[in-house]
Amino acid sequence: MTNAAQTKQMQSGPGFIAALDQSGGSTPKALGLYGVSEDAYSNDAEMFDLIHAMRARIAQAPAFTGEKVIGAILFEMTMDREINGKPSATFLWEDRGVVPFLKVDKGLEDGANGVKMMKPMPDLDALLDRAVAAGIFGTKMRSVIDAANQAGIEAIVAQQFEVGAQITAKGLMPIIEPEVNITIVDKAEAEVMLLAALTRHLDALPEGQQVMLKLTLPEVENLYKPLVDHPAVMRVVALSGGYSRDEANARLSTNTGMIASFSRALTEGLSAGQTDDEFNATIAATIDSIAAASNAG
């Protein structure tokens, strides 16, 4: 994290982080919402070409700049590709003023104790070295909470911070993402347990060390304000988690200090069949609305 300008932007820049990190499992759905059906590609390579084209189109839209989009989370294949003739991370920072992050997890284990832990990442060190070389600022890794299960939540947070320490050791900023499933009946109880577990792990970090947190928008407004204010937290960002953009924005605007890191809510309304003018107008309106909600809190 040697780039002081990137650090400052992530600490205090107004706006939000775009999540452009759909992986193999979620890409067909993302393409379908974008108007590209599964019969438009015959293998994974063609599928990833199409999702990269979508991401590149978003990143090159006139409104997609660091003025309101302070960061963007990339899928590994996006980091390895180019946008407008430059490596993706280089293009984002040099041409757009957007701080690049990388999704590093390899998906989820089967559920146990009400949670889905991250799968093992034996090649993480090599991936992190590539990320550093590519100019990536930080990383993101997701696991999922499906019930207010104390043991499961403790395990999921411990795993996140353990991997986070490995990422920090490489000089990258980890975004820790223990997502709470928005459909569960005990969501509010799970969030109280998660707050306690996160606080304990943050309190145990070495002085001066920081992480970022990516959390589901809570049932209780400002539940996570203590995390926003914690000295070991650079920024708390919110995932849309399946909420519509309007509902995600409404919830976000009531949570002081949290900013968005939306994926599906960011691409809602975009279509492969739109003209460039239509596409750019749609993404500009979306960026304005998410930035406003991020800055309102």
Residue pair 173/190 in contact by the 8 Å Cβ criterion: no
Q: State the Cα–Cα distance between residues 50 and 45, nearest whole angstrom.
A: 9
Amino acid occupying residue 39: D
Beta strands 259-260 and 233-239, pairing class: parallel
Residue pair 291/266 in contact by the 8 Å Cβ criterion: no
Alpha helices per DSSP H over 13-149: 27-33, 44-59, 76-79, 88-90, 96, 124-134
Does residue 177 have an active-site annotation?
Answer: yes
- DSSP label at 202? H
| CB neighbourhood size of 147 (10 A) | 20
Residue pair 286/6 in contact by the 8 Å Cβ criterion: no
Instruction: Please identify which of the residues 154, 177, 179, 191 carries the catalytic annotation.
Output: 177
Q: How many CA atoms lie within 13 A of 114 on its CB side?
A: 21
**Residue 234, H or E segment:** strand 233-239
| CB neighbourhood size of 123 (10 A) | 11
Does residue 106 have an active-site annotation?
Answer: no
Active site residues: 177, 214
